[in-house]
Amino acid sequence: MGSKDYVIRVVDDPQTVDASAWNELLEAQPAATPFMRHEYLVALHRSGSAMADTGWMPQWLLVERAGALVAAAALYLKAHSYGEYVFDWAWADAYRRHGLDYYPKLLGAVPFTPVPGSRLLARDDGGRDLLLAAMRGLVEQAKLSSAHLLFLDETDRAACERAGWMLRHGVQFHWTNREREPYAGFVDFAAGLQRHKRKKIAQERRRVAEAGVTLRALHGETIDEAMWDFFFRCYTLTYRAHQSTPYLTREFFREVARTMADHWLMFVAQRGGRPIAASLIALDPARRVAYGRYWGATEHVPCLHFEACYYAPLAWCIDNRYLRFEGGAQGEHKMARGLLPVRTSSGHWIADARFASAVDDFLAREGAGVDAYLDELNERSPLRRG
């Protein structure tokens, strides 16, 4: 990309960005997800979920050539570290103890969504390198503490490495369908697990059935307003149980139900003819990938969480020939349900050289721990050996 043939802009209102141009650029990426679509990101902003008043001030970075969008990144000035799932509270505390401000910081991420995918939307590596350089320029110009890109795909990870950014790794748990011969059904999938894992899954599913609970799957426009209302009640109850406040508003779910209907799958648990729990799964029909997102219940039923969040979605994925199911942030218990560990990556650039050195040392030690943890998890694979 030539040095004088483009214009870089920063916009603080995502609604002013051309939706078709953004989505077209996204679809050209190696790891596009529905969460980076213009509709999803704008719904977060417009619904009051991720906006300046909640500590997420949009600073979308746009690179244009002859008026056309050629590179972009959804960036935010963050006044805190909530809703990120890559925890840097200790870094912020270290700044505070030295009389320095860690916030605001510059963040490239999908708010409240720990799903790996493309963050640097560009046509080539040159465009990604330019976006990273522009991010660093924004940090220096505004005298911010740092810049961060969370849950990167492999292409963006490589770009961060080229640019000298520090890399941080974590672990998630994903299910992957067989490539050559996809699973014929849930029983076929379970047959590939170790005997005690199969037995545990069968026991948990049986407990739900014996409690008189049945689940039904609703997709797209078959999820009516009343069911969205019920789901949102369940969603808020989950946060209340953890003495926390929900990140997402009812208006957010109303907006994405309208603009992205085909991307939502809801499992509703019923007993005695009335709903008692719901889980929400995001879908990428084009790439055959599903993402576990939210869950809640109005009453407790043992093992219902596992059924609504793992077993029923996995069975649906198998029946619909989906390639992957991502279980979300953390959760080693997911391994017992057939989800396997995968490494996640994020990129970080710290402006202060002293703190950068300290963080780099910390990440080296933390990374060695993540490597050892992955080795340990792989040794405990739930899959049958041989």
If DSSP states are collapsed to H, E and C, what string results for the chain?
CCCCCCEEEEECCHHHCCHHHHHHHHHCCCCCCHHHCHHHHHHHHHCCCCCHHHCEEECEEEEEECCEEEEEECEEEECCCCCCCCCCHHHHHHHHHCCCCCCCEEEECCCCCCCCECCCEECCHHHHHHHHHHHHHHHHHHCCCEEEECCECHHHHHHHHHCCCEEEEEEEEEEECCCCCCCCCHHHHHHCECHHHHHHHHHHHHHHHHCCEEEEEEEHHHCCHHHHHHHHHHHHHHHHHCCCCCCCCHHHHHHHHHHCHHHEEEEEEEECCEEEEEEEEEEECCCCEEEEEEEEECCCCCCHHHHHHHHHHHHHHHHCCCCEEEEEECCHHHHHHCCEEEEEEEEEEECCHHHHHHHHHHHHHHHHHHHHHHHHHHHCCCECCC
- What's the domain count of the chain? 2
What pLDDT does residue 5 have? 87
Is the same domain home to 79 and 203? no
Is the same domain home to 79 and 139? yes
List, run by run, the mean pLDDT of 10-residue segments along the chain (386 residues): 80 97 98 98 98 97 96 98 96 96 98 98 97 98 98 98 98 96 97 96 98 98 98 97 94 98 98 97 98 97 98 98 92 93 97 97 98 96 86
Whether 200 is in a domain gets the answer yes
Amino acid present at 150:
L
Is the same domain home to 350 and 311? no
Which CATH number goes with the domain that contains 276? 3.40.630.30
Whether 269 is in a domain gets the answer yes
Is the same domain home to 165 and 266? no
What pLDDT does residue 386 have? 63
Is the same domain home to 133 and 215? no
Is the same domain home to 249 and 137? no
Is the same domain home to 311 and 351? no
What pLDDT does residue 330 have? 76
Whether 136 is in a domain gets the answer yes
Whether 296 is in a domain gets the answer yes
Whether 2 is in a domain gets the answer no
67 lies in which domain range? 7-171+342-379
Whether 114 is in a domain gets the answer yes
Is the same domain home to 39 and 164? yes
What pLDDT does residue 328 have? 84
The sign of the dihedral angle between the CA atoms of 70, 65, 7, 55 is negative
Is the same domain home to 166 and 182? no
Whether 333 is in a domain gets the answer no
Whether 367 is in a domain gets the answer yes
Q: Which two tokens stand for residue 2?
A: 């030539």
Is the same domain home to 17 and 136? yes
Is the same domain home to 114 and 186? no
Is the same domain home to 247 and 352? no
